Structure 1
Amino acid sequence: MLIGQLLKPFGYLAIKHPYKWVVDWLYPFLLSLITITFIVSLSTAKLLILPGGMISMILSFVQSLPGFYIAALAAIATFGRLDIDDILPEPTPKVVVKLRGLENTIDLTRRRFLAMLFAFLTGESIAIVFFCIALLSFGPAIDDFTHSQVPIGHYLLIVALFCLFTSVYQMLLATFWGLYYLGYKLQE
């Protein structure tokens, strides 16, 4: 039960909506693919994990975000307008909620959707910080790992970077989606 509660911020990914998967997975995957292609063709992955490299810069940027996301989450939770508790229009995002052992599919309100979104962004940004720290700490050793003249570590590093870039792009796109809802949709 405790692990389920700790992972609850990532429940945002379980929201069902016809277009949400595009923002959550398709665009971040394609942007990561383009980024990794440029890195492999123009440079070497090992340069990204050196001090002052791209991963250090990503870490510097992302480590300040959890505080802003928590502030946005607090603002959403206490926002006083009544229409924030109206159900979102069609196609209405839905989520499955367990209540007293039964699974119920519920339509999301703007408040619940935004709260789930910013809780997810907080959790994801913290995870990205730890992932960047791990890459900076262990990336050079991983990259140097070879077995029978096959640079296995280099390929593992590229896969790790692909996962990191997918998470970063996912976080950025979801942030802009949240800003769109906060800046424009709440005013309609």
Structure 2
Amino acid sequence: MMLFEQVSRPFGFLFIRGVKGKCLYDWLLPVLLTVLTITLICSSDIATYSKINDSVINGIVGFISTLPGFYIAALAAIVAFQNKLLDEGLDGAFGERPYVNVNDINENREKTIKKQYLTRRYFLSSMFAFLTAESIVITMLNKLSPLFIQYNSVMAIYVVVIFFSLWQLIIVTLCGLYYLGERLHVK
């Protein structure tokens, strides 16, 4: 169980609470853009899943597969960069500080869940760890896609999942760039 928790921890970014607009960026916008993308595909002349995979997804994933190196470099820079602003707490929505629930063992050796409040460094580290993991998963799903072609329902689910993941990756990357380029320098 502990191994699964460690391997899935980069996706913990999706469960950070108290950041204004985070649900919109993590879930609602990717769903909306996925629906629009699927609608455009259904109304175009791309009739089969193999054509979608060959002409659209493979081209995008070719680019996405180069991103983990850049995300890891950004993660290393955030961890190593000496700036007092990075170690300050985040401002949250509605006066609540952003937090993530973490497992803890109390003095009676009982497993409990506690809130860990976030610093800017923790938030950005978590974001770039998530982006690295998601880009790796997208690349691997794309490499496994030939296994799905013979099953139309599985291929349809694959197309929806891959477009949702792609849009989520793009939106969170843009939010990360905004935060690093502009928001990080504002007290």
Q: TM-score, normalised by structure 2?
A: 0.88
**Contact kept? 1:49, 1:139, Cα under 8 Å:** no
**Contact kept? 1:45, 1:157, Cα under 8 Å:** no
- In structure 2, the gaps of 5 or more residues are 106-110
1:119 aligns with 2:121: no
**Contact kept? 2:17, 2:99, Cα under 8 Å:** yes
Q: Secondary structure at the match of 1:140?
A: coil
Q: Percent identity, aligned pairs only?
A: 39
Q: Secondary structure at the match of 1:96?
A: strand
What is the number of residues matched between the two proteins? 174
Residues 141-160 of structure 1 correspond to what in structure 2 (within 5 A)?
141-142=150-151, 153=152, 155-160=153-158
Displacement after TM superposition at 1:103 (Å) = 1.4
**Contact kept? 2:148, 2:154, Cα under 8 Å:** no
Q: Secondary structure at the match of 2:149?
A: helix
32, 47, 51: which one aligns with 1:44: 47
**Contact kept? 1:85, 1:109, Cα under 8 Å:** yes
Distance in 1 (CA, whole Å) between partners of 2:48 and 2:26 is 25
Displacement after TM superposition at 1:45 (Å) = 3.8
Residues 167-182 of structure 1 correspond to what in structure 2 (within 5 A)?
167-182=165-180
**Contact kept? 1:62, 1:125, Cα under 8 Å:** yes
**Contact kept? 1:70, 1:122, Cα under 8 Å:** yes
Residues 58-137 of structure 1 correspond to what in structure 2 (within 5 A)?
58-91=60-93, 92-100=97-105, 101-135=111-145, 137=146
Structure 1 runs of 4+ with >3 Å offset: none
Tell me which residue corresponds to 1:3.
Answer: 4
Tell me which residue corresponds to 1:19.
Answer: 21
Give, as a single letter, the amino acid of the residue that structure 2 aligns with 1:166.
F
Give, as a single letter, the amino acid of the residue that structure 2 aligns with 1:44.
A
**Contact kept? 1:36, 1:162, Cα under 8 Å:** yes
Distance in 1 (CA, whole Å) between partners of 2:160 and 2:23 is 18
Distance in 1 (CA, whole Å) between partners of 2:156 and 2:39 is 10
The root-mean-square deviation of aligned C-alpha atoms, in Å, is 1.3
**Contact kept? 1:86, 1:110, Cα under 8 Å:** yes
- In structure 1, the gaps of 5 or more residues are 143-152
Distance in 2 (CA, whole Å) between partners of 1:45 and 1:112 is 43
Deviations 1:124-157 (A, max 9, x none): 000000011111x224323xxxxxxxxxx1x432
Displacement after TM superposition at 1:186 (Å) = 1.5
Q: Secondary structure at the match of 2:114?
A: strand
